[in-house]
Amino acid sequence: MEREGKSDPIPIDIILDILSRLSTNSIAKFGLASKFCGSILRGQDFTELFLITRPLSRPRLLFAVQNSDKWCLYSSPQSQFPDENHSLVVSADFHMELRRDMGQEIFGLVSGLLYFPNTRTGEVPVICNPSTGQYARLTQRSSMNNLSSLLGYDPIGKKYKVITPSSSHFDPENILTLGTGKVAWRSIRCLVDHYPESEGICINGVLYYMASNKFQFSGVKIASFNVRYETLKFLNADVDVTFCPALAKLINYKGKLCVLSCLWDNQIYPKPLRWKVLMLWLWVLEDAEKEEWLKREYTLPVNIVHGNVSVVGVTATGEIILSMDYTSESFFVYYFNPERNTLEKVEIQGFEGSEKNLSSRVYTFVDYAEDVKFI
């Protein structure tokens, strides 16, 4: 039956087909048009269609440039097999800006979203989606000011959760579930009081982070928090670097937890070469149930490296990525292939939004996949 004065609504399958052909930025603008449009993006049908039309076989590098007054977020294609005979040049795509006072510290990339806990400033945490340019401030209890918080993701329930670990016997562990339409913190009792000593890394629904408590255990341990079931345990890791978190970093190594430690050494090569080398130690959690670890060691001659660099992660194909820590006239990312024992560099261009004649801190994240999660 035809309706007078109104046109027939567009079938939802046609809307989904049109959305599948749009850029991520255009999809985000569509979601902001109305509550109905936003509900389409949050629907399971669109999520599954987006994953099909935007396969994860094309990962990217995400760059968060910390300027004096703002954050600038960029991404660039992540080279799968850099040419060892040539230096590649890749252009970075600009995503969004974020006022500096909204994020003083950044804690990793969790399933497409960035998290700014703002522990040191006492400001409320901020979560943002670089793909859509959206961000949101999270509410928190007054008793939680200056407490460290972490972001985790449950891939089964498709829920993000902000966790504030209990740092004393008098404070419960606080959890905020995002995307429920109701912003409310919950408290759960934690049997072991502890304080995070590192940013977290979420792998297959488990949030790992280094933690300490001088009253209940010595040194630093690795906490393992199941985001779905909200249970906590500490790994019995025979990993020396866990007792010195400043020298260690938790990373995702092909879907497994890995503790990475590195040391610069310029004493290995004799004069007159005096090349600086990078010593890498990786402890990979091969079996999470049995808590079996495998140690790997690598020595990288890095005479081609420009400026200060840090190991930022491992790609899904097993390449170890190093990235410069600060902007400069030329900004490079380095790919180390353990199997071929090669170290290749790729120049990243396009940080135009960064401050001129100033060196800004750059945080680099590997295996970034664009996502249209609607904040």
Q: What's this model's pTM, rounded to 2 decimal places?
A: 0.85
Instruction: Supply the pLDDT for residue 72.
Output: 94
pLDDT in tens, 130-143: 988 889 888 876 55
As a whole number, the mean pLDDT across the chain is 81
Distance, in Å, from the CA atom of 203 to the CA atom of 11, rounded to the nearest integer, reads 38
Instruction: Supply the pLDDT for residue 3.
Output: 43
Identify whether the C-beta of residue 234 lies closer than 8 Å to the C-beta of residue 223: yes
Domain residue extents for the chain: 55-368
Lowest mean pLDDT among 141-155, 267-281, 315-329, 354-368: 267-281
pLDDT(273) > 50? no
pLDDT in tens, 59-77: 899 999 999 889 999 999 9
Which structure tokens are listed for 69? 């007054």
Evaluate the CA torsion angle 125, 108, 204, 346 in order and state its sign.
positive
pLDDT(212) > 60? yes
pLDDT in tens, 222-235: 999 999 999 999 88
pLDDT(299) > 70? yes
Q: Which of 162, 171, 156 is nearest to 136 (CA)?
A: 162
Domain 55-368 fold is Neuraminidase (2.120.10)
Most confident of 17-26, 185-194, 279-288: 279-288
* Helices 12-20, 35-42: inter-axial angle, 10-degree rounding: 70
Which structure tokens are listed for 59? 């990962």
Instruction: Supply the pLDDT for residue 242.
Output: 45
Which structure tokens are listed for 286? 């091969």
The pLDDT > 90 percentage for the chain reads 32
Cα dihedral angle (177, 372, 320, 288), rounded to 10 degrees?
Answer: 40
* Of 240 and 332, the one with more pLDDT: 332
